[in-house]
Structure formats: structure tokens, C-alpha cells
Structure 1
Amino acid sequence: MTAPPQSASESETSLTRPERLDRLPFTRKHGRLLTGSGIGWALDAMDVGLISFVMAALAAQWQLTQTEQSWLGSIGFVGMALGASLGGLLADKIGRRSVFALTLLVYGLATGASALAGGLAVLLVLRFIVGLGLGAELPVASTLVSEFAPSRIRGRMVVILEAFWAVGWLLAALTAYFIIPLSDDGWRWAFALGLVPAAYAIVIRRGLPESVRFLEAKGRDAEAERVVREFEASAGVPSPPEPAGGGSSTEAAAVGSPQQTAVETSSATSSAPGLADLFGSAMRRRTAALWLTWFGVNFAYYGAFIWIPSLLHDGGFTLVKSFQFTLIITIAQLPGYALAAVLIEVWGRRATLATFLAGSAISAVLFGQAESDTMILVTGCALSMFNLGAWGALYAVTPEVYPTQIRATGAGWAAAFGRIASIIAPLSVPVLYSAGGLALVFAVLGAAFVLAMVAALFLPEMAGEELLE
């Protein structure tokens, strides 16, 4: 016998909360989430970008050696490696939104305090603390956006989130170009702007929703239902009717006996995600591929962009002209993100990421061979465009690799492993530069891009698919 057709309300009641979020169009609530997270992302990028310009200024003012500049460029990434791993664990334990706000507060206050540093030792300590906050923020923010984005546009939303990085780095370049050269204390005023994230943490804590998937995993069903209904109301989509006994209709459809509910809730709230979960039989291959991709991208990106202003200055450019060239190269990040945002839902994650990494490798080698001002700008802009498009695709695919209970942990550990490369790269550049000049430096960075490209081909393709539960 054929079953009678379901009514609209029965069909809606049978949907899980993630499925109800997935069916929604892009709404103002999505826009607020994306913008709110993106502003935090841009402030993060601005802080990371500033240190590359401050290094060039302090090298002259404090008579820093290349080794001391290397430590100044790398110490923040030591903090970022630790912060990324701890931030992911905390986000899976206490929530994405809370950790996001906390990270903004930590690195905002530490950056502001950096303006008062009287010597290299104090500045190194403060930059390490800044790194703790910065490292924890990025994987948490991308996880939060991924868990709210409808599956058909999830990759695009995360790439757009990552595009705020270009905005922040551009703000850093503008600050460096217009403020740092004004006086010997120009770099201090640049760091003082870092207090903005501390104030913005209050906005994040109050204005952004907590992840529905996280709330469900912790047994906080009433909160999860309220958030979903707010998004449905924003889209003009009717929510399922409340059951007569109270609670949400989704709860009634999804759970059985009270005893079963108690067991599931206890399991959800007591489980403690950790590193071992990432290397179980189901996850080890994708974890290895993801970590190698993050390692290669971090090594190449930070090896290049932390040092470009200083390398140009050492190559004979004035400080102002080196900042001007870096500003132009930074602007090229924006079309890279725009192109990646389009292609990631057309080509898929793997193809987009691998293509942009291949373009980054070629551009890096050509930049190392460039001799004229024109070729430096052309190859530098190509490197910037391809590299940042690759970053957008990488941040899109990373949260998709893991299920909800270890998603932030997995993203955080991938970022943490990548930060090891971002520590090594700035330390390696002076050694490579002494051995073979720019050509050797950027040939090695190109090889790192190739490593990342090959590893990316082993990542799962999740375009249009629902996130793992």
C-alpha cells in the first residue's frame, strides 16, 4: 500500500535543524554574521600585516640585525600555533562565539600595549601574546560561518569571509604608508590602532549567534531552536509548529524515549574532542592532506609577505617606495578572492585550491627573477592574487573535512601545524637570501606552494554537500 502524502507541516517537522538552515536563502542574518565575523578577520589581518612594515621601520630605528628582525617576524606565529590548537579545542568545548570574542580581546589589548614597548625583548613578549589571540580566532571564525551557511553557497561565503583578510592587510599597508614614516613614533601609533579589536569583542559577544550544530552537540536544544527560528523568520520561511507538549517540533521528530534523550545528551556533553580523533581510521588521510596543505601555504605566504617590504628596502628602494610597492601588491589580493569565490562553487574545492596554488608557485619563481620595477609589480601582484585566492579556498574546505564534534578542533590543529611553517619561514628567508638572493628565496617558496598543491588533491570534495554531523 502506498503511504499517504505528507502535509507541508509534516514535511517541515521531519527536517533537522541543520537541514532547515540549509534550505534557507541568503538573508540579512547571514549578512550580519558574515560581516561581523569578517570585521574581526580584517582586524586580525591588519595586525599581522603591520608587523611586516614595523620590522622595516625598526630595523633602521633600533639598528636590528636580520636575525633580530626574523625573530620579530616569527615570534607572533609561535603564539599563533599554540593559540590555534587551544582555540579549536575551546571552541568545541565552550562555543564558537565565546572563543571568537575572547581572542579579539586578547590580541587587541596586547597590540595596543605593543605601542609602549621600549625594547625588542618587551615587544617580542607582547607579539607572542598577540599571536595567541590571532591564532585562535581564524579557525573559529571560519567554523562559525561554515556551520550557518547553506550548503549550496557555503564555500563562497567562507571565501568572502577570507576576503576580509585583504581589507585588513590593505589597511595595514595604508597605515604604514601614511603614518609610520611621519615620525620615529609612527610605528607606535600604528600599533595603538590595535586596541580597536578589544572594543569590537563586545560587539561580537552580543551580536553574533552561537552555532546551532554546537548547541545541539551540547544538548542545548531550546537555544538551537530559537536561533534557527530567527534565521527562518529573517528569510520569511515558516518554522515548523511547536508540539503540544512544548519544546521544538524538530526535537519531537528526532528523539525517542526520555531515556534515549538522556543518554544522547550525556554523550554529547561529556565527549572531549582531542588530537587522537583526527587520526582515527576515518580521518587520518584527510588530516594528513590538510596539514600538509596548511604547512606549504603558510611557509610560502609568510616567507614572502612578512619580508617583502624589508627585501625591497634592502634592494635599494626607499622605505616609502617599498611601502608603496607593497600597497599596490596588496590591492591585487582582492581580485584573487573574488575569482576564488566564483570558482569554488563551479569547479569545486579541490580544483580551485590546486589551480590557485599552481599559479602561486609560478608567480613566486618569476618574482624572484624580476629585475625591473615593472616586473616586480606585475609578478608581485600575480603572486598576491593567486596566493590569497588559495587561502580563501583553503579556509572554505577546512571546516568541511570534519564532523561537528571535532570540527573546530580539526580546523584549529590544521592551522596550528601550518603555523609551524610560518615560524620557520621568516627565520629561513635571511639564510636563503644570503646564500642565493631573491631567486633562491622565491624558488624555495615556490616549492612550498607545489607541496601544498599536491596535498590538496587528496582532500575530500564537499561542494554542495551537507556538513558532516
Structure 2
Amino acid sequence: MTPQESSSPLHDGMSVGSSLTRTERLDRLPVTRRHVKLLGGSGIGWALDAMDVGLIGFIMAALTTHWGLTHTETSWLASAGFIGMALGATFGGLLADRFGRRNVFAATLLVYGLATGASALAGGLAVLIALRFLVGLGLGAELPVASTLISEFAPRKVRGRMVVILEAFWAVGWLAAAVIGAFIIPLNDNGWRWALALGMVPAFYTLYVRMKLPESVRFLEAKGRHSEAEGIVTSFEASEPTRLRFQGEPHSSDASRVLDETQQDAAIVGGSSGSTGSASGIWSPTLRRRTTALWTVWFCINLSYYGAFTWIPSILVDQGYTLVKSFTFTLIITLAQLPGYAVAAFLIERWGRRSTLATFLAGSAVAAALYGFAGVEWQIIAAGCLLSFFNLGAWGALYAIGPELYPTTMRARGTGAATGFGRIASILAPLIVPPLLVFGGLPVLFTLFGTAFAVAAVAALALPELKGTRLTER
């Protein structure tokens, strides 16, 4: 089918000369240059998010030294941002379903970019905490919106892999934060201010997002904007296929388990595990189980991830390491995030979303236990690298599976609500670390984190396996 054959839209989402809906046409495309451009544009925003979140752990350690703050005070600095992220994630999804994925994506980048830049001028802890809350609002709203946008454009067979690649940009951003932490923050007493000033980059990046990234076709159709939707689909169809290898075809041994595309569409319409039927909300009878499982995973992974990685630089300082050495250790540990994402991206279209997520969560549980009992430098680094590898691979799989669980009309809302609930745990995580360190030290703290990862792994097994299925519309 040529782009010219599909130039006249009909109100039911189909086009003249074709029996396929626009979303089906997108599903059947190869990965084109426009897909790569969309992935890269969204990924840069994702990396800037991660850089901002990652910096706070290094800033906490620096302010403990320069301002003489207690661990309780610095824990509130971290939690304020996560309170904002919880609210942002919850309402960002609602706004994206109402005003569009691209518009909300750009607005959130602007909010947290400007607030981060203003944080560099803070003269006291109270002002810094208030600004971190505003930063969190933007950060929390952006993450579920970006993953939803990628999910709605990605071809069906590589949808999970593209979302994991998007999530891999988080490692790039966190690595940038670790580099800034290791080489800029320790320079002088104002090094942390220069680090936050770099966080203003997202404010300028919003111009690119607003002008260059496409709006979701599914969103445009839901709003009756069929001409715009048709133009975007046509542009993807006209785009040159990329030579990059995103897709691994199913093995022959999987043939008995994999429906061909025509059969699969019929199964979905008829009520397969990927169908949400006539669901009226994320807690409707047809969606209740998956929502409960998804919220459980989100809560547990947030508690452990932010509890561990936000505090690792400060914990290392408490163990007697200098700022420079503790930040260097953290930088090395952060490097392990990249192969974690790479392996998850490979496995998610081979094993499936559920198996990949559960496996990486179980690995995170083991790694957390090992870190809690690490005593010497090589053990700290090795256990930390394992924790980075498995935990960030789990994040990639989680962001891939979330948007697939809900129909178009509530997709951003469903993923945003789960993210928002998870942020409750990220709020609590920094606050519980100081008393647990006093009560039982690292073994007790990381045993808790390991237990949370294990609970998340069990909850992941309750999610439906939707590898290769079409995103539902209703």
C-alpha cells in the first residue's frame, strides 16, 4: 500500500483503499527512520530526567559535608522531589489523555528544567526542598507520557524492545549524573550549584519536542482529528526503513505459541488475554487483577531502587570514604545499568514481558542481599554492579509492559496512576533509610530492599503476557 492510497481518512479510523485501520498500519510497519527519530527525541528527554533524579543523591552527600545537614534533613530533600513525582505521575497521565502526549511531554520538561535551574540559586534547605517538589511535578508527569507515546507508535513485533531502549536512556542520564557527581560537585563548596545549573537543559529541549515529535495517532483519532492522524501515519509509511536491528523474529520452536497477525487480531477482538473487553476504568472487573499486580510491582521497585541508589553515595561517605572516592564507586556501579538494559531489550521479545520482568526482579533481590553484607571494596563494587544490572533491566521491562495493559482511552491514565502509586514508596524510601541504618545497619536495610524485590517478582507473574499483541482501543 502506497502513501497515496491512504490519503483520504474516514471517521472510523480507516482510509480509502485499505481495510486496515491507521493503528493496524502502524503495527505492520518496519522500523523506519521516523521511529528512530521519535525514539531518540523521547529518549533524550528521558535521559535528562534521569540526570536530574540521579544528581540528588550526590547533592545530598555534598550538602551533608558543606552545610552540615543531618541524614534526616537530607532525606526530606529527596522525598520532596518524590512527592512531586507522585502527583505529577498521577495527573500527568490524565492531562496526556485530555490534551495530548506531546503537549504534556513538552510542558513537563519545561517545568522541571526551570525549577532545577532555580534550585542552583537556593540559599537554604527550605527553599531547596520547595523547588525540588516543583522539579518532581515535572519529572513524574513526563515518564509515563513518554513511554505511552513510544508504545503507541512502535510496530507490534518490536514494541516491547523499543520501550526498553527508551528506558535505557535512563542509564545514560544517570551515568551523566554520576560523571557530574564525580568530577564537578567535589571541585568546591559550590560544585553542587553548577551541577543543578546543568539541569536547565530540559527547558531548552522543550522547543524541539514541541516542534519535531509527532502527536499520538490514537489520541488524535479519539479526539476526532482524523486528518492530522492520517498525515502522521502517511509520513511514517513514507519514511525509509532503518537498517538497525530492533527485531528478533520468533524462533521456530515458538511457532506453536505464536499467532500470526490475522489470527491474533481476531483473538483480541474475541476476548484474548490482551483484550480489555468493555472495561470502564482501571479498576473494572476485567482490569482489576492486572492493575493490582502492576501497582504492587511499582511500589516495591520504587521502594528498593530509590532507597538504595539515592543513599549509596552518602552511605559510602559514612563508611569512611571521601566524597571523591564514594562518587567514583557510584560511577562504576552506574556503568552496569547499560548492559542490564541491553540484556532486557534482547530478552523481552524472546522470553516475553512477564518472564523478563520477574527474572530481573528476582536477580535484584539476590543482588540487594549481597550488597547488604558486602564488607570490602571489591565486594561493594561487585554487588553494586549486580544490583544496577538487574534493577535497571527490571525497570526497562516494567515500562514496556505497563502501556500494553490498558486501552487507548485510559492508557496514559493507567500507567500514570501506577507510577503515581509507586512514587508513594519513593517518598517513603529516603525517610526510612536513616532509622534503619541506626537500627540494624546495611544488612537490615538491604534485606528489606531484597524482600521488596522478591514480592515484586511474584506480583509480576500475575500480569498477563502480551508479547506480540495489538494495543487495544476500547
TM-score by length of 2: 0.88
The answer for the alignment partner of 1:449 in structure 2 is: 453
Q: Deviations over 1:25-47 (max 9, x none)?
A: 10110000000000000000000
Summarize the alignment of residues 119-138 of structure 1 with structure 2, pairs less than 5 Å apart: 119-138=124-143
Preserved CA contact (<8 Å) 1:155 1:344: yes
Of 210, 213, 222 in structure 1, the residue corresponding to residue 218 of structure 2 is 213
Structure 1 residue 74 and structure 2 residue 74: aligned? Answer: no
Does the 8 Å contact 2:93/2:144 carry over to 1?
yes
Is 2:115 aligned against 1:115?
no
Closer/same/farther in 2, CA of residues 382 and 190 from structure 1, 3 Å limit: same
User: Is residue 182 of structure 1 aligned with residue 187 of structure 2?
Assistant: yes
Root-mean-square deviation over aligned CA pairs: 1.5
Structure 1 contact 100–141 (Cα < 8 Å) conserved: yes
Q: Distance in 1 between matches of 2:28 and 2:358?
A: 30
Take 1:137 and 1:12, find their aligned partners in 2: how far apart are those partners?
Answer: 37
Asked if the contact 1:42/1:169 (under 8 Å) is kept, the reply is yes
Q: CA deviation at 1:236?
A: 7.0
- Listed one character per residue, the Cα deviations across residues 405-427 of structure 1 (whole Å, up to 9, x for unaligned) are 00000010000000000000110
Which SS does the other structure have where 2:208 is aligned? helix
Specify which of 140, 150, 175 is matched with residue 145 of structure 2: 140
CA shift, 1:11, in A, is 10
CA distance in 2 between partners of 1:413 and 1:63 (Å): 37
User: Does structure 1 residue 391 correspond to structure 2 residue 401?
Assistant: no
Give CA-to-partner distance per residue, 1:212-263, whole Å, 9 cap, x none. 01111111101000000000000479xxxxxxxxxxxxxxxxxxxxxxxxxx
Cα 1:11–1:218 shift into 2, 3 Å: closer
**1:247-299 deviation digits (Å, cap 9, x = unpaired):** xxxxxxxxxxxxxxxxxxxxxxxxxxxx9811111111111110001001000
Q: Which has the larger radius of gyration?
A: 1
Partner of 2:273: none
Of 19, 26, 40 in structure 2, the residue corresponding to residue 35 of structure 1 is 40
Q: Which residue of structure 2 lines up, in the alignment, with residue 225 of structure 1?
A: 230
Deviations 1:119-174, CA, capped at 9 Å, x for gaps:
00000000000000000000000000000000100000000000000000000000
Cα contact 1:24–1:235 (8 A) shared by 2: no
User: Whole-Å Cα distance in 2 between the matches of residues 12 and 221 of structure 1?
Assistant: 16
Alignment of 1:265-344 (within 5 A): 277-344=281-348
2:265 aligned residue: none
The answer on 1:26 being equivalent to 2:39 is no
Who is 2:356 aligned against? 352
Distance across 1 between alignment mates of 2:155 and 2:430? 38
Aligned length: 425
Correspondence 1:197-208 to 2 at 5 A: 197-208=202-213
Residue 83 in structure 1 maps to residue 88 in structure 2? yes
AA aligned to 1:73 is: A
Assess if the C-alpha contact under 8 Å between 2:147 and 2:166 holds in 1: yes
Q: What's 2:374 paired with?
A: 370
| Residue number in structure 1 paired with 2:444 | 440
Q: Is 1:83–1:134's contact at 8 Å kept on the other side of the alignment?
A: yes
Correspondence for 1:44 among 38, 46, 49 = 49
SS at match of 1:407: helix
The match for 1:61 among 66, 70, 85 is 66
CA distance in 1, matches of 2:280, 2:443: 41
Residue number in structure 2 paired with 1:267: none
- For 1:420 and 1:409, locate their aligned partners in 2 and report how far apart those are by CA, in whole Å: 17
Q: Return the alpha-carbon distance in structure 2 between the equivalents of residues 313 and 73 of structure 1.
A: 17
Distance in 2 between residues matched to 1:177 and 1:293, nearest whole Å: 32
Are 1:411 and 2:423 matched, yes or no? no
CA contact (8 A) 1:91 1:408 kept: yes
SS at match of 1:279: coil
Residue 258 of structure 1 is matched in structure 2 by: none
Is the contact between residue 87 and residue 136 of structure 1 (CA under 8 Å) also seen in structure 2? yes
Match of 1:156 in 2: 161
| Cα distance in 2, alignment partners of residues 12 and 316 from structure 1 | 71
Tell me, yes or no, if the aligned pair for 1:107 and 1:134 is still in contact at 8 Å. yes
Letter in 1 for 2:80: I
TM-score, length-scaled by structure 1:
0.89
Please tell me whether the aligned partners of residues 114 and 123 of structure 1 are also in contact (alpha carbons under 8 angstroms).
yes
Describe how 1:239-250 pairs up with structure 2 within 5 A: none
SS of residue in 2 equivalent to 1:176: helix
What is the letter of the counterpart of residue 84 of structure 2? G
Structure 1 SS opposite 2:281: helix
Partner deviation per Cα, 1:300-342 (whole Å, 9 max, x = no partner) = 1000000000001101111100000000000000000000000
CA drift of 1:69 comes to 1.0
Give the Å deviation of 1:53.
0.2
The aligned counterpart of 1:361 is 365
1:422 aligns with 2:426: yes
Identity, % of aligned positions: 68
| 1:468 CA displacement | 1.0
Contact 2:32 2:241 in 1 (8 A): no
CA contact (8 A) 2:30 2:241 kept: no
The unaligned stretches of length 5 or more in structure 2 are 7-14, 243-278
Q: Where does the alignment leave 5 or more consecutive residues of structure 1 unmatched?
A: 1-7, 238-274
More helix by share: 1
Amino acid at match of 1:427: L
